[in-house]
């Protein structure tokens, strides 16, 4: 029997002060997403090859405490050129599996923009 899909917390563009994070799908550049570690989620147990973000696969990963809570978080970098989102999308999802085969989904608020050039520097 498979475990139900686990809900996890993600932060798109950690450090971006905007509530709805700007994303320019299909454009050049990279996009960082933090998968937040928690009591119920040890990010060391994530199968990084399973991570997907709207058509994108990870360029790289690192483990660091992004939010300063003392728990390790998984920072994942994606190539924005491979991300596919509808121009009206208001949320985006990171999906993946733990090494135990349990799948998970995390979601964050976004705004689809044609370019990041006009965005707050903390969100680029």
The structure tokens 């998970």 sit at 104
Give the pLDDT score at 2. 65
pLDDT value of position 4 = 87
Over the chain (124 residues), the average pLDDT of each successive run of 10 is: 85 95 95 96 97 97 96 97 97 96 96 94 91
| Confidence (pTM) | 0.94
Dist. CA 44–CA 34, nearest whole Å: 13
Conformational region of residue 117, where left means phi above 0, alpha means psi within -120 to 50, and beta covers everything else: alpha
* Architecture of the 6-114 domain: Sandwich (2.60)
Domain ranges within the chain, ordered by starting residue: 6-114
């Amino acid at each position: 029997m498979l475990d139900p899909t686990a809900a996890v917390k993600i932060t798109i563009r950690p450090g971006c002060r905007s509530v709805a994070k700007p994303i320019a799908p299909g454009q050049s550049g990279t996009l960082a997403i933090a998968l937040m570690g928690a009591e119920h989620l040890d990010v060391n147990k994530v199968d990084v090859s399973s991570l997907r973000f709207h058509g994108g696969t990870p360029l790289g990963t690192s483990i660091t405490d992004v939010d300063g809570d003392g728990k390790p978080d998984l920072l994942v970098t994606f190539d924005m050129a491979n991300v596919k989102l509808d121009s009206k999308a208001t949320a985006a999802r990171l999906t993946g599996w733990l090494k135990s085969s349990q799948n998970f989904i995390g979601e964050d608020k976004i705004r689809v923009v044609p370019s990041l050039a006009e965005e707050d520097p903390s969100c680029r």
